[in-house]
Structure 1
């Protein structure tokens, strides 16, 4: 018997979409079942921002192009065989082909546009014509898990800030930021977990309420005076506290600067990647809605002017000694287009804090319990704590996560693991499934934000040592390699994070179902996928990546032509 009744499929407002739980299959195999459950999980009302509109996060990142396409994807997954592959073109299932058991069950491409036409205006025209959709990063590739997914990378980023500037802790510091949506909603808890006080500006009351309900935000302030009294008291007492304020950052941040508030760290995670999504303070909601539909060019002009004011305030804080960084939403380039020419004076978070980790392929691995049972995550946590007992950063995070991370939709965990570690973790998970220690198979994957899977000159590949910021061969090679290595599904996408025309990125998922074949697929993918990140950075000239590739036996004939023949004939 099934553990749960099968969820209804359709418009989330009338019939909420929730992933099946339990151990009974609704598809012909666990690979297909996993794809179906994660697709539905993306639209779970506890996970998605606007499930009625198929929008998962990021303002306009969708799981499928239309409800008819969603229904067709679900129907196809339910009858897909173990040697067939479904092709999904920008959220629409377009074909099923006979392949083989090692091939991915699903291949996804979202919003890929020929470069000369890769503009927001052309994308909107194509989207309005029903020809494409924006997949953000993990929305259109069916791997979004709510703030439980982004929390660790946010935590690690602020931990890196603490190590760089504040003696390893944010205790006694004040961070001011904005945006409490699907990505930004992790900021207040991540800052508090590092010991700091956080003031988080947000224009949408529903998002503030949601973050408080999910335990990511401590309190909402009545106004700016109240907010500042709360966070400054916490700062002075070296007490962790997160405060939300209903306000527009383009207005509130200049006021904070004018008041000479002692801000230690400042960043932003508003939906700046698409100016139509940025809330303009001098427009009423009615006027804004009308302009978005009838005169989008004028709205974009207003939005970029507001972003210029927003970023100007950040630069004024920078001049006062505040640690300022862009959190990858493209606001600097939009502010530059709005006329503020100092917008690039502060760095993006990858170049500032994360790139040394990328040289050793350290990134955010994730596992999702398809059973829907949080006890499965607890079992895996315990196994990982034992396996990585000598890795203080991993064990610290897993203990923090067990206390602070609340389940949204299917239970999941993220963990920063490097080359070799991801394959070890995957073997452990597959063995737990094989031995019946977890109730059902587990989906294993990673963030799109990873060392070898993104070309994004304003974020992941900003300021590459060799100037290769915009070279997009790397994510494409990463996707091809993952498909060849046995990933269960692979997605190639355009525009996530920083917006249309500014990034190409890829993701993958592999299913641990306890079988010997799954063990082989997991080992191949979870070795080769991070390995491509080491290669990408070694090729760009990062000495640590060059050394690490040699230490790990990753063959790179381009680095040493003298040993090319040996490297291709001798397996390490």
Structure 2
């Protein structure tokens, strides 16, 4: 890539460099070292070593061939893409575009072999040879702070202590790609090093399209992942297009470079479990507890599955909430990683031992997390067996966090098949594997249904498409027919029907958004987050203290509605205890559910602290895409929108566009995320606070839009809490600058009298 006197230059993506893959560096990258202070980081790598990121693809000399590291977890083989000969040739042709013609004969055979062996061309040869992690921002090369910050965020997503399959560039969720291949990583890093306040980098599903002239008020980077012509947004089509290297599934914060490790979901999971207790367990005398009583879930048992990058938060959240969390995980690597990192208190390898542990901890009434090495279906069926034989109910709450958005390529493992055998089978016998997955889903639902009916277990879908996939498998999970609903709505939906229908199916169990998080979103609260780019733990502790002061101030507001006051109290407790829970894995980051008033106040406090030197470096603001206005998905974020627009994606698209034109440092817009390819549209942003007045003003514009966009949509759909939040949002701007169209709600009596057969 080249920049020529302010004019756009078109040259090869493969500019030659003087170093081969970067110098090998000692230290860094282990779980224990993740999130260390700047002094330790500087002892293991310096800017001379990271300077190779500015040089682009290492071609002179070429790095030697590289075989995937057997000590690291790896993505499942993806040969189910069913490429024909023409497709395979096209995939190799596409991959070679990043390299000069004189290297094509050498690399073509290598890439063809990767495609045959792994089902995708990852370009392992070009994986950097130095440890990838979130180094202090000043160590990265570049002409702009924004470029260096984005480098930091990308490296955090690829840190082996953070990423699920680091060598396949997968951050979480089984297929949440940062890039499609390592050539894209190098080209993007080169562009970021060249980035200035007069240019913008555009990324098309991992591919760096180039640097384009813009201006200081423009985003420094615009990212899209998996955006499709709607008719072609199918799961089968995705596998082919990903193999061709022309699109990728960015999940949410994987492809937008805003992932902060499992901490990114643990706060939301904690709030979900806490509010599930308030809602269903009747231990608070009316459903609301004063200041998040720690005894709310004491002696209660929560059963779920998954200890991956996102699902791993369940174990930590259960312990924080004071309940007994039983989390099944089929991967020894994933379970051991969470246990080693301190996110999992205990582990068990037998069902008999597990049941005894549940009974013991249940009686003790203390919060603890137990990881079961095995299939969650076995756990649910053993709990049924215990009830049938003894009458004892050993579970109160249940959910599932397997990656059911991708059930047949490693997202869900069938009961009765060993983990490694299942990985082989999904590649060598995909049709048989699919049948086993579907049978396993039916068995899991059968056990959950029994415990729900006999033991009043409160089960909720965690937005991972579990109930959707179970319904496609023929499980008894669809809701009883409502009056006025066509017969067809109650029939089993196959994938094509549920994808093309404008009315998603209704299930017998709620989405956690419908029952719990939807009200929180409607109030404007969501997973706000920040990263201290200095890499200093001391900076993160200071931001925690500043956040606590902000929440104290907000909670003392006169005449504060009780529903909002409760959220402030919950979140104040979280931020006070966050450091003691050792949540940092990777970058020095924190998540805090916050509303519009909170986000504005936090941004101002952080920017002032950067400006006056109390913070040693800039702060990066972001959020999960799973937020007030970041995602449209009928099976999760908009599942409690009942005006018929749950399947419409205007909100998420407007969100990204609005953030871009209001001063965000970068924005992203994705297809899929959480619930699966074609099942959601979502977006996110990053905003760098450098202590300047301009950064503070941009933060106010971006954050106000980023929250109020979703509040307005939820208000228009008729949600009363969103209407309350909308009024508060309008009060943030003087002189009527924010004006909303609010609904005039028709009476049920009037509407019910119409269209009577």
Q: TM-score, normalised by structure 2?
A: 0.72
- In structure 1, the residue matched to 2:523 is 360
- In structure 2, the residue matched to 1:191 is 318
- In structure 1, the residue matched to 2:142 is 27
SS in 1 for 2:529: strand
Equivalent-residue separation in structure 1 for 2:312 and 2:530 (angstroms): 21
Distance change in 2, residues 1:293/1:13 (3 Å): farther
Per the TM alignment, residue 544 of structure 1 is displaced from its structure 2 partner at its CA by 2.3
In the alignment, which of 433, 448, 468 is matched to residue 333 of structure 1? Answer: 468
1:506-521 equivalences under 5 Å are: 506-521=683-698
Equivalent-residue separation in structure 1 for 2:147 and 2:129 (angstroms): 26
Per-residue CA distance 1:511-565 (angstroms, 9 max, x = gap): 011111111111111111011111110111112212331343274453279xxxx
Per-residue CA distance 1:173-226 (angstroms, 9 max, x = gap): 011111100111011111111110111110001111111111111011131111
Q: Is the 8 A contact 1:250 1:306 kept in 2?
A: yes
Q: Does 1:374 align with 2:537?
A: yes
Q: Does 1:69 align with 2:223?
A: no
Q: Does 1:263 align with 2:446?
A: no
Equivalent-residue separation in structure 2 for 1:440 and 1:152 (angstroms): 25
Q: Does 1:324 align with 2:487?
A: no
- In structure 2, the residue matched to 1:148 is 263
Equivalent-residue separation in structure 2 for 1:312 and 1:207 (angstroms): 27
Q: Is the 8 A contact 1:174 1:232 kept in 2?
A: no
In the alignment, which of 615, 618, 625 is matched to residue 448 of structure 1? Answer: 625
Equivalent-residue separation in structure 2 for 1:172 and 1:286 (angstroms): 35
Per-residue CA distance 1:329-371 (angstroms, 9 max, x = gap): 1011111111113252111111110111111211111010111
Equivalent-residue separation in structure 2 for 1:295 and 1:473 (angstroms): 40
In the alignment, which of 527, 538, 541 is matched to residue 704 of structure 2? Answer: 527
Distance change in 2, residues 1:107/1:297 (3 Å): farther
SS in 2 for 1:336: helix
1:145-544 equivalences under 5 Å are: 145-166=260-281, 167=283, 168=289, 169-260=296-387, 261-275=393-407, 276-277=409-410, 278-284=412-418, 288-320=422-454, 321-343=456-478, 344-389=507-552, 390=555, 391-544=568-721
Q: Does 1:46 align with 2:161?
A: yes
Q: Is the 8 A contact 2:224 2:670 kept in 1?
A: yes
Equivalent-residue separation in structure 1 for 2:590 and 2:727 (angstroms): 31
Q: Is the 8 A contact 2:604 2:696 kept in 1?
A: yes
Farther off after superposition, 42-51 or 390-399: 390-399
Q: Is the 8 A contact 2:715 2:743 kept in 1?
A: no
Equivalent-residue separation in structure 1 for 2:691 and 2:252 (angstroms): 28
Distance change in 2, residues 1:263/1:35 (3 Å): same
Farther off after superposition, 246-255 or 197-206: 246-255
Q: Is the 8 A contact 1:13 1:51 kept in 2?
A: no
SS in 2 for 1:126: helix
Equivalent-residue separation in structure 1 for 2:218 and 2:251 (angstroms): 25
Equivalent-residue separation in structure 2 for 1:297 and 1:15 (angstroms): 40
Equivalent-residue separation in structure 1 for 2:359 and 2:424 (angstroms): 40
Farther off after superposition, 291-300 or 33-42: 291-300
Q: Is the 8 A contact 1:12 1:51 kept in 2?
A: no
Q: Is the 8 A contact 1:148 1:405 kept in 2?
A: no
Per-residue CA distance 1:474-508 (angstroms, 9 max, x = gap): 10011111001111111101111011111111111
Farther off after superposition, 295-304 or 320-329: 295-304
- In structure 1, the residue matched to 2:248 is 133
Equivalent-residue separation in structure 2 for 1:254 and 1:184 (angstroms): 21
Distance change in 2, residues 1:317/1:14 (3 Å): farther
Per the TM alignment, residue 451 of structure 1 is displaced from its structure 2 partner at its CA by 1.2
Per the TM alignment, residue 37 of structure 1 is displaced from its structure 2 partner at its CA by 0.4
- In structure 2, the residue matched to 1:565 is none
Equivalent-residue separation in structure 1 for 2:336 and 2:422 (angstroms): 23
- In structure 2, the residue matched to 1:567 is none
Q: Which runs of 5+ in 2 are unaligned?
A: 1-38, 54-124, 284-288, 290-295, 388-392, 479-506, 556-567, 732-737, 745-757
Per-residue CA distance 1:370-411 (angstroms, 9 max, x = gap): 111111110111112122213422321111211103321111
Distance change in 2, residues 1:345/1:436 (3 Å): same
Equivalent-residue separation in structure 2 for 1:146 and 1:221 (angstroms): 24
Q: Is the 8 A contact 1:305 1:335 kept in 2?
A: no
SS in 2 for 1:181: coil
RMSD (Å) for aligned C-alpha atoms: 2.0
Q: Is the 8 A contact 2:137 2:152 kept in 1?
A: no
Equivalent-residue separation in structure 2 for 1:13 and 1:94 (angstroms): 21
- In structure 1, the residue matched to 2:133 is 18
Q: Which runs of 5+ in 1 are unaligned?
A: 562-572
Equivalent-residue separation in structure 2 for 1:194 and 1:409 (angstroms): 24
Equivalent-residue separation in structure 2 for 1:225 and 1:115 (angstroms): 49
Distance change in 2, residues 1:22/1:558 (3 Å): closer
- In structure 2, the residue matched to 1:105 is 220
Equivalent-residue separation in structure 1 for 2:463 and 2:457 (angstroms): 18
SS in 2 for 1:415: strand
Per the TM alignment, residue 232 of structure 1 is displaced from its structure 2 partner at its CA by 1.6
Paired residues in the alignment total 561
SS in 1 for 2:242: helix
